[in-house]
Amino acid sequence: MIMDGESAPDVSEKLGVKTGTLYKWKREHLAELDGSSAPGVGASPTQMAAEIDQLRKRLAKAERINDILKKR
């Protein structure tokens, strides 16, 4: 859900649990991992998820710009 971009409702349906339960598990898991990132990485899972989200947005913007330039 965090890394693969799959929606919470889709994951909860696959697992057969309520969406609220899934979010609770995610929050607990991230709380466990926060501050204990892999050596050399320097970012917690929460920070990595935020960076991935930002990079996806930047990629989408670059792809839109690329499409506009191709049409010229």
Is pTM beyond 0.85? Reply is no
Q: Are 34 and 45 in contact (CB under 8 A)?
A: yes
Show me where the domains of the chain are located: 8-71
Q: How far is CA 29 from CA 4, 25, 26, 58, 69, in A?
A: 16, 6, 5, 27, 43
Read off the pLDDT of residues 16-68 as tens digits, 9 standing for 90 and up.
999 999 889 888 877 777 655 554 456 777 788 888 899 999 999 999 999 99
Q: Residue 5 contacts by C-beta under 8 Å, 6 or more apart in sequence?
A: 56
Residue 38's pLDDT is 53
